[in-house]
Amino acid sequence: MRGARVWARLLGVERAIVDDVELEDETGSLVVRVHLQRRDRARCGRCRRVCPGYDGGEGRRRWRTLDLGTTRAWIEAAAPRVRCPEHGIIVAAVPWARHGAGHSRAFDDQVAWLAAHCSKTAIVALGRIAWRTVGAIVGRVVSDARAARDPLAGLRRIGLDDISYRRGQRYLTIVVDHDTGRLVWAGDGRAEATVEAFFDALGPERTAALAEISTDAAVWLVNPIRRRAPDAILATDPFHVVHWATEALDELRREIWNRARQSGDRSLTRAAKGVRWLLYRHATEFNPAQRDRFERLIALNAPIAEGFLLKEQLREVFAIGGPAGVALLDEWIGWAKASSSARFRVVGRRVEKHRAGIVASLLHGLSNGRVEAVNTHVRLIARIAYGFHSADALIALAMLRLGGVCPPLPGR
Ligand SMILES: [Zn+2]
């Protein structure tokens, strides 16, 4: 292999014919000038159909490609326009780059691979490109990969969740495949419309093939799922159910402390404060004043103690799981509904309302654990993707890192 063909191979333009190669003095870059083989000429940039020529477009243009050693390299070629019956007047396709891209396919794929494996600083320095450009490249690489291999194909068991980013001002809805642990879809926002958009992308046939769906009990998630996938088993995520009880316990603790402080009952407030000293003593050593304080303290703590036990018992329901977990769940609902605390009575009714979903989760062992793990990763990615300034670029980076759509390094 010699001359022009060596250059074509080195610069990743094997399918083109090299006219000349020049080391440009003013930019210090290597420029390879090429023209297309006859079979690649006059094809639509989007559908690659052979079309009648239209005009010369904006003349010759350049595509950044992989560095040659330490030198920046560019491919230069004519960029004529064709008239596609479907896509109208459009810039003709070139075999070395994606449509509309200013970088070669090899350059795109390398940047995407780096974005899936390296830090932002490493990619920007190695590629000599802006972080925003990385966002655009990742976007087109992922949309290509998704067109080649649909991540929504063959789904059986999925989990849905929402993620807050930008200090809780923005949200994403994510869908994770329970069987592979992969992120298969993400949408901007958290609303019924976002969930509907997922089912639209999935289509009726693949929706009908879904066997189990896990979510938290949020109405905006549950309602559209029930509407669009009525035959799938809807499992309510244990993590969120236990969280209701934890939240109620925290509120109860704050409420009791505030009530003691605001009541003006100084001995009660003091009782709450001087606990430790009192508890070191033997009950038999108490004088009448101390005994009084001790009893008030117990009364003060009783609802918290009950709340704590309720929370622990609910956790136990999911730890046991299966039919025994279901039996314990039903006991738990009865106990919570009869609790001395109004907050726990509310949680009891809430759990009862979602009983079917919780039972499904207990019997099918579907927990959102995998979904939570993906959620944590996406939140980290959101921090890295901050400079992209668009939810689509964030979603593309998340799909690249967690969706199994990362391309291999060029030539490997
Ligand atoms: Zn076309």
- What are the φ/ψ torsions at residue 236 (nearest 5 degrees)? -90, 130
Instruction: Say what the pLDDT of residue 313 is.
Output: 93
Q: What is the pLDDT of residues 129-158, one digit of tens each?
A: 999 999 999 999 999 998 888 899 999 999
Whole-angstrom CA distances from 214 to 87, 112, 225, 229, 389 are 41, 31, 10, 12, 31
Span from the CA of 93 to the centroid of ligand 1 (angstroms)? 10
All residues at 6 or more sequence positions from 320 whose CB lies less than 8 Å from its CB, including other chains: 328
Instruction: Say what the pLDDT of residue 53 is.
Output: 93
Instruction: Say what the pLDDT of residue 3 is.
Output: 78
Lowest mean per-residue pLDDT among 78-92, 162-176, 178-192, 254-268? 254-268
Instruction: Say what the pLDDT of residue 113 is.
Output: 96
- What are the φ/ψ torsions at residue 76 (nearest 5 degrees)? -120, 135
Span from the CA of 134 to the centroid of ligand 1 (angstroms)? 27
- Terminal CA-CA length for the chain: 21
Span from the CA of 100 to the centroid of ligand 1 (angstroms)? 13
* Amino acid at position 305, single letter: A
Q: How many whole angstroms separate alpha carbon 321 and alpha carbon 323?
A: 7
Span from the CA of 49 to the centroid of ligand 1 (angstroms)? 6
Span from the CA of 40 to the centroid of ligand 1 (angstroms)? 14
Residue 62 near residue 33 (C-beta atoms within 8 A) = no
pLDDT band of 126, cuts 50, 70, 90: very high
Residue 214 near residue 159 (C-beta atoms within 8 A) = yes
Span from the CA of 263 to the centroid of ligand 1 (angstroms)? 77
Instruction: Say what the pLDDT of residue 141 is.
Output: 95
Q: How many whole angstroms separate alpha carbon 31 and alpha carbon 24?
A: 7
Give ion ligand 1 contacts, CB < 5 A. 44, 46-47, 84, 86-87
Instruction: Say what the pLDDT of residue 155 is.
Output: 95
Q: How many whole angstroms separate alpha carbon 315 and alpha carbon 350?
A: 16
Return the sign of the alpha-carbon dihedral for residues 199, 203, 206, 209.
Answer: positive
Q: How many whole angstroms separate alpha carbon 147 and alpha carbon 143?
A: 6
Q: Average pLDDT over the chain, rounded to whole? A: 88
Higher pLDDT, 176 or 169: 176
Span from the CA of 46 to the centroid of ligand 1 (angstroms)? 5
Residue 264 pLDDT greater than 70, yes or no: no
Higher pLDDT, 165 or 292: 165
